[in-house]
Amino acid sequence: MINASIKQLSAALAARTISSVELTQLYLDRIARLNPKLNAYLTVQPEVSLAQARVADARLAAGNAEALTGIPIAQKDIFCAKDWLTTCGSKMLHNFVSPYDAHVIARFNDAGAVNLGKTNMDEFAMGSSNETSHYGPVKNPWDQARVPGGSSGGSACAIAARLCAAATGTDTGGSIRQPAALCGISGLKPTYGVVSRYGMIAFASSLDQAGPMGRSAEDLALLLNTMAGFDERDSTSLQREKEDYARDLAKPLNGLRIGLPKEFFAEGLGGDVAQAVEAAIAEYRKLGATVVGISLPNSKLSVPVYYVLAPAEASSNLSRFDGVRYGYRAPEYTDLADMYEKSRAQGFGAEVKRRIMIGTYVLSHGYYDAYYLQAQKIRRLIAQDFTEAFRHCDVIMGPTAPSTAFKLGEKGDDPVQMYLSDIYTIAVNLAGLPGMSIPCGFGANNMPVGLQIIGNYFGEARMLNAAHQYQLATDWHSRAPQGI
């Protein structure tokens, strides 16, 4: 059962060949056995999960189940879930038990899914390796000496290690796609505004987007069907007709135009990654797709632009964490100002403090025009590059990350090298486009390689179609780590 797809699990639950309680207990037993080594989960409440599973079984017996009813799903610890500890991987929120559900959590609850637990993550989603978590790094199940990617590394690890059927993630600059690539799973960042951000603890509000993570494109389509939808509580939520993201999965790829940006295959890309991606493109040609060369000339500026805009928004969003109403408060202080300073100094980790300081600087008087305003102008140029590219192609493909998973601690002393892990993903967030990563082979040290697929606005169904047809022709997505 641990290798079954969501569709297969749903069919088994409907046929009563297994109950949701049995399935949930299977995953809980695996979490108890493997999580101490992998550190993928921060919070597990077996009694709560099993109670949800019993409700799902009753719903299945009554014949009013949905596709995700009874399916055990892990939730990234950035989503508020009522009566669950929600830490965002930070000491600052070490004791915060949410009084309400995020929109995404509520959608899964309404569908009858089982909340299996809250997954580890980089602190406040700031990181590319899951090493900034206050609760320790997540280990990559393919090689426990290596990182799983970040910030949704706990979710990616949990799926790869078969500790859940699927999981949620968030993507601000690649935080779904990059860990999906490094852990050999599938992950999708939807068009900005398709999934509500209500109850998702904010990092950079104009970039953050929730999305599904699973073993296959078919799983992602079923998950996104539940997650997507208008929410009036989120001012950036888009009011659109309801879509079935699985509607085009079976369509052949004859005539699909794939754009290959020359900037994605330049200096800095590992040879092993390039080889796997090129083999995937060759497979797409066999499936009937055509390939066209395109250019995204401003994409090289995406990393510096991101590291001006994202810290600027973070410095504003994280100002609420001051030790007053909830979260960490310094045990000793002399007055209110001292309490603010000590609570924030002690409650935030080094990477979060670094980004708050950068963000405050670029927003300060005398520097706003030189940095923040200029970055917003270049952001518009990056989006225009994609608009021009999509005149010539239907989807854009390339590597998700420049290398396979690196060793724990390898880039800890060099923030710039760590930031470059997201060099191929960040531009998608700056433009608000949908993007996904699927497994396409293995590179150095037998570590997974991810193929990134970028779609035009609201092009999720087409992307999922392209990914699904590739996964029907290959088996990279079905590979599992040894010993797992």
How far the first Cα of the chain sits from its last, in Å, is 13
Instruction: Please state, as a whole number, how many other Cβ atoms lie within 10 Å of the Cβ of residue 143.
Output: 18
pTM: 0.97
Domain count across the chain = 1
3-class SS at 185? coil
pLDDT value of position 46: 98
pLDDT value of position 92: 98
Beta strands in 348-483 (DSSP E): 395-399, 435-442, 448-455
pLDDT value of position 10: 97
120, exposed or middle or buried, with CB in 10 Å at 0-12, 13-18, 19+? buried
Whether the per-residue pLDDT at 412 is higher than 90: the answer is no
Q: How many CA atoms lie within 13 A of 443 on its CB side?
A: 27
Predicted confidence (pLDDT) per residue in 108-129, tens digit: 999 999 999 999 999 999 999 9
Per-residue pLDDT averaged across 457-470, rounded? Answer: 98
Domain interval for residue 223: 6-253
pLDDT value of position 287: 98
DSSP-assigned beta bridge partners for residue 75: 118
Q: Name 480's Cβ contacts closer than 8 Å, sequence gap at least 6.
A: 3, 160, 162
Q: How far apart are CA 194 and CA 242, in angstroms?
A: 10
pLDDT value of position 67: 96
Q: Name 22's Cβ contacts closer than 8 Å, sequence gap at least 6.
A: none
- The DSSP call for residue 421 is G
Q: How far apart are CA 183 and CA 148, in angstroms?
A: 6
Q: Report if residue 343 sits inside a domain.
A: no
CA-to-CA separations, 251 to 8, 56, 248, 399, in angstroms, rounded: 21, 33, 5, 24
3-class SS at 284? helix
Q: Report if residue 310 sits inside a domain.
A: no
395, 380, 377: which is closest to 294 by C-alpha? 395
Q: Report if residue 184 sits inside a domain.
A: yes
Q: Report if residue 381 sits inside a domain.
A: no
Q: Report if residue 30 sits inside a domain.
A: yes
pLDDT value of position 262: 96
Q: How far apart are CA 429 and CA 417, in angstroms?
A: 20
CA-to-CA separations, 109 to 63, 104, 466, in angstroms, rounded: 17, 9, 30
CATH number of domain containing 20: 3.90.1300.10
- Structure token digits, residue 134: 């206050």
pLDDT value of position 414: 83
- Structure token digits, residue 381: 């140029």
Q: Name 399's Cβ contacts closer than 8 Å, sequence gap at least 6.
A: 181, 264, 265, 269, 273, 274, 277, 424, 449, 450, 451, 452
Predicted confidence (pLDDT) per residue in 11-50, tens digit: 999 999 999 999 999 999 999 999 999 999 999 999 999 9
Whether the per-residue pLDDT at 98 is higher than 90: the answer is yes
181, 136, 131: which is closest to 151 by C-alpha? 131
> Residue 192 corresponds to which amino acid?
Y
Q: How far apart are CA 160 and CA 172, in angstroms?
A: 22
Per-residue pLDDT averaged across 186-213, rounded? Answer: 98
In this structure, what are the phi and psi dihedrals at residue 237, rounded to the nearest 5 degrees?
-70, 135
Q: How far apart are CA 388 and CA 405, in angstroms?
A: 33
Whether the per-residue pLDDT at 447 is higher than 90: the answer is yes
| Sheet-wide strand order for 448-455 | 41-43, 114-119, 72-76, 166-170, 210-214, 186-189, 435-442, 448-455, 395-399, 257-261, 290-294
Handedness of CA 417, 125, 92, 164 (dihedral sign): negative
Predicted confidence (pLDDT) per residue in 387-402, tens digit: 999 999 999 999 999 9
400, 394, 478, 483: which is closest to 443 by C-alpha? 400
- Higher pLDDT: 419 or 145? It is 145
Catalytically active residues, by annotation: 76, 151, 175
Instruction: Please state, as a whole number, how many other Cβ atoms lie within 10 Å of the Cβ of residue 223.
Output: 29
Q: Are 169 and 80 in contact (CB under 8 A)?
A: no
Q: Report if residue 231 sits inside a domain.
A: yes
354, 468, 421, 349: which is closest to 175 by C-alpha? 421
pLDDT value of position 415: 83
Q: Read out DSSP for 292-350?
A: EEE--TTGGGHHHHHHHHHHHHHHHHGGG-SSSSSS---S--SSHHHHHHHHHHHHS-H
